Amino acid sequence: MRIAIIGAGLAGLTAAYELRENDVDVYEATDRIGGKLYTVPFEAGPTDMGAEAFLSRRTDAVEFISELGLKDSLVAPSGLGSLVYAGGRALPLPRGGVMGIPSTGQAVAHLVGAEAAARIDAESDAPGFTWEAGGDVSVGALVRARYGDEVVDVVVSALLGGVYSCSADDLGLRATLPQLAGELDRLAADGPVHLRDAVGNLEASRAELPTGQGSVFSTFREGYQELYEALAEKSGADIYVDAFISGISSSAAGYRLAGGEDKDYDRVILAVPAPTAALLLKQVAPEAASALSAVKLANSVVVGMRFATDAGLPNNSGVLVASGEQGVRAKAFTFSSRKWPHLAKRGGALVRASFGRFGDDVALRASEDDLVDWALDDLQTITGFDGRAAGLEEIYTQRWFGGLPRFDASHLATVEAVRGHLAGTAGIEVAGAWVGGVGVPDVIAGARRAAAEVLR
Ligand SMILES: Cc1cc2nc3c(=O)[nH]c(=O)nc-3n(C[C@H](O)[C@H](O)[C@H](O)COP(=O)(O)OP(=O)(O)OC[C@H]3O[C@@H](n4cnc5c(N)ncnc54)[C@H](O)[C@@H]3O)c2cc1C
């Protein structure tokens, strides 16, 4: 079977590996493979500028990585807690809850104040709300209605923004917090529901999980390059870089790619961001293309900085910045050398600053000098750590144009519609962050599914 895969990010390379028994060509528009996985050779050692961890509680992902022979490359974080910067102070990120949505006011009182905390507790005494099983709403709208604005702006948006580059108001509950949506579905069978009950039930079921099963997150000792290089090599596929595909057309013998090799393919997998997939599908699956145009992307920027000393850097894994915090441009800092013991061993301090949320492109347009200045200024404002005095030894600035798809309240319906339309187009499959979730385990699982489906 001759198979073309468009996009050599995690999804495309995973699919290529899964299809290694076939004649596979992978086309990548840029000059390197990996997409949003990108390990940069700092002098002190390989350093990730895109994804920097994954949820290793997802055993399917760990098994897949083990199958690639990379199990021994996985390393665990230090377990140090994170901070939230709100109201000009960096305070501990509450543990428990669901992505910052608490079941008690006490859990977040130190961040939102006593009055807002009391409002959270009072939710149980207010009338419940009607929840339609299978329904959806934006995370922000739900939590604002039940708990008030403070917890959304200070905690929930900061946490979700770290994962999705979007505020809670731009994200759908079912797409981003499916367990919470599922628990509301379950509770709704008995009538009106309370958010505190749903969150509390999830906390209780989490507490029942067996402990001692290793850390929740992991990463690769030498960075994500270990994963994308292994996938590329073990796939045996022909990988064409600097190969921008601008269209797909049907031919008598299958599909042809504009910008690809002069040959026909029996099958095609699109492993590209949604807007690109929409353009590429225009000719062969116009309805799918039109449904896909609803998916918007959030831009972001990562500034990686290495300092000669870590003296004065807080003993935490990082800090998230509350929405609307005045005088600070960054949305988060990861204190990588505190978070990851294998990076701490290099000496000095490694810090990643992140900028940009959906709809806020200021950082994307800023000059590199400005971005580094903002990163250093904000780091000092938030933590007191003076990066200039600490000796800035290495810097890398990475702009992520369209870094992540926006998983709004209509996203799942859009994906279902695209899938429905594609069902009538034999031999074409889609994979990638917008299809089944942005997390590395989700992308791997989705690409494996697409590889299996495309052979049917
Ligand atoms: C800054 C950042 C931090 C992140 N951190 C984490 C994390 O810590 N943990 C986690 O689990 N996830 C994280 N993620 C999410 C995760 O990295 C991504 O969801 C995942 O890597 C996306 O993989 P993909 O293959 O779907 O897409 P991509 O990586 O975007 O790959 C798509 C590829 O297609 C190529 N392409 C596009 N158009 C064309 C064309 N016309 N022709 C040919 N090629 C084309 C692109 O150049 C790209 O290489 C992060 C994402 C970002 C942006």
Query: pLDDT tens, 274-326?
Result: 999 999 999 999 999 999 999 999 999 999 999 999 999 999 999 999 988 99
In the block, residue with structure tokens 């669901």:
98
Between the CA of 214 and the centroid of ligand 1 the distance, in Å, is 27
Between the CA of 240 and the centroid of ligand 1 the distance, in Å, is 17
Under 8 Å between Cβ of 376 and 313: no
Which atom of ligand 1 is nearest the CA belonging to 435?
Answer: 26
The larger pLDDT score, comparing residue 435 to residue 361, is at: 435
The Cβ of residue 305 has, within 10 Å, a number of other Cβ atoms equal to 23
Under 8 Å between Cβ of 298 and 358: yes
446 lines ligand 1 (CB under 6 A): no
Under 8 Å between Cβ of 243 and 28: yes
Domains of the chain: 2-37+222-294+407-454 (3.50.50.60), 94-207 (1.10.3110.10), 297-405 (3.90.660.20)
For ligand 1, atom 2, which residue shows the shortest CA distance? Answer: 50
Nearest to 35 by CA among 218, 228, 219: 228
Instruction: Give the pLDDT confidence score for residue 444 in this predicted structure.
Output: 98
Query: pLDDT tens, 47-91?
Result: 999 999 999 999 999 999 999 999 999 999 999 999 999 999 999
Task: Answer yes or no: is pLDDT of 215 > 90.
Answer: no
Pull the structure tokens for residue 207: 């507490």
Query: Alpha-carbon distance 10 to 5, whole Å?
Result: 12
Instruction: Give the pLDDT confidence score for residue 442 in this predicted structure.
Output: 97
Could you tell which of 354, 438, 442 is best to mutate to test the pocket of ligand 1, judged by most ligand atoms within 8 Å of the CB?
A: 438
The separation between CA 280 and the C-alpha centre of its own chain, rounded to angstroms, equals: 24
Instruction: Give the pLDDT confidence score for residue 220 in this predicted structure.
Output: 98
Question: Cα-flanking dihedrals φ and ψ of residue 281, to 5°?
Answer: -85, -5
Instruction: Give the pLDDT confidence score for residue 211 in this predicted structure.
Output: 64
Query: Alpha-carbon distance 218 to 198, whole Å?
Result: 28
Question: Cα-flanking dihedrals φ and ψ of residue 234, to 5°?
Answer: -75, -15
436 lines ligand 1 (CB under 6 A): no
7 lines ligand 1 (CB under 6 A): yes
Tell the burial category of 306 from Cβ atoms under 10 Å away from its Cβ (0-12, 13-18, 19+).
buried
Task: Give, in order, the Cα–Cα distances in Å from 383 to each of 263, 319, 346, 396.
Answer: 57, 9, 22, 21
Instruction: Give the pLDDT confidence score for residue 324 in this predicted structure.
Output: 86
53 lines ligand 1 (CB under 6 A): yes
244 lines ligand 1 (CB under 6 A): yes
User: What percent of the chain has a predicted confidence (pLDDT) above 90?
Assistant: 90
Task: Answer yes or no: is pLDDT of 147 > 90.
Answer: yes
Which 3-state string (H, E, C) describes the chain? CEEEEECCEHHHHHHHHHCCCCEEEEECCCCCCECCCCEEEECCEEEECCCCCEECCCHHHHHHHHHCCCHHHEECCCCCCEEEEECCEEEECCCCCECCECCCCHHHHHHHCHHHHHHHHHHHCCCCECCCCCCCCEHHHHHHHHHCHHHHHHHHHHHHHHHHCCCHHHCEHHHHCHHHHHHHHHHHCCCCECHHHHHHHHHHHHHCCCCCCCCCEEEECCCCHHHHHHHHHHHCCEEECCCCCCEEEEECCEEEEECCCCCCECEEEECCCHHHHHHHHCCCCHHHHHHHCCCCEEEEEEEEEEECCCCCCCCCCEEEECCCCCCCCCCEEECHHHHCHHHHCCCCEEEEEEECECCECHHHHCCHHHHHHHHHHHHHHHHCCCCCCCCEEEEEEEEEEEEEECCCCCHHHHHHHHHHHHCCCCCEEECCHHHHCCCHHHHHHHHHHHHHHHCC
User: What percent of the chain has a predicted confidence (pLDDT) above 70?
Assistant: 99
For ligand 1, atom 29, which residue shows the shortest CA distance? Answer: 35
**Sign (positive/negative) of CA torsion 168, 171, 175, 176?**
negative
Query: Alpha-carbon distance 38 to 128, whole Å?
Result: 46
Which atom of ligand 1 is nearest the CA belonging to 53?
Answer: 8
Under 8 Å between Cβ of 171 and 406: yes
444 lines ligand 1 (CB under 6 A): no
> How confident is the model over 234-258, as a mean pLDDT?
96
For ligand 1, atom 3, which residue shows the shortest CA distance? Answer: 51
Residues in CB range of 417: below 8 A, 6 or more apart: 288, 291
Mean pLDDT of the chain: 95
pLDDT confidence band for 361 (50 / 70 / 90): confident
For ligand 1, atom 34, which residue shows the shortest CA distance? Answer: 7
Could you tell which of 10, 13, 28, 36 is best to mutate to test the pocket of ligand 1, judged by most ligand atoms within 8 Å of the CB?
A: 36
First to last CA, the chain: 11
Which atom of ligand 1 is nearest the CA belonging to 245?
Answer: 42
Please, how many CA atoms are within 13 Å of residue 9, restricted to the half-sphere of its CB? 26
Beta bridge partners of 255: 250, 265
Query: Alpha-carbon distance 373 to 302, whole Å?
Result: 13
The Cβ of residue 41 has, within 10 Å, a number of other Cβ atoms equal to 11
28 lines ligand 1 (CB under 6 A): yes
Could you tell which of 164, 272, 429 is best to mutate to test the pocket of ligand 1, judged by most ligand atoms within 8 Å of the CB?
A: 272
Instruction: Give the pLDDT confidence score for residue 323 in this predicted structure.
Output: 87
For ligand 1, atom 19, which residue shows the shortest CA distance? Answer: 438
Query: pLDDT tens, 205-214?
Result: 988 776 656 7
26 lines ligand 1 (CB under 6 A): no
Between the CA of 115 and the centroid of ligand 1 the distance, in Å, is 41
Which 3-state string (H, E, C) describes 348-365? CEEEEEEECECCECHHHH
In the block, residue with structure tokens 């350093």:
47
Query: Alpha-carbon distance 284 to 247, whole Å?
Result: 9
Under 8 Å between Cβ of 1 and 233: no
Between the CA of 384 and the centroid of ligand 1 the distance, in Å, is 33
pLDDT confidence band for 95 (50 / 70 / 90): confident
Between the CA of 132 and the centroid of ligand 1 the distance, in Å, is 34
Task: Answer yes or no: is pLDDT of 270 > 80.
Answer: yes
Under 8 Å between Cβ of 348 and 44: yes
Between the CA of 235 and the centroid of ligand 1 the distance, in Å, is 19
> How confident is the model over 419-439, as a mean pLDDT?
94
Between the CA of 369 and the centroid of ligand 1 the distance, in Å, is 25
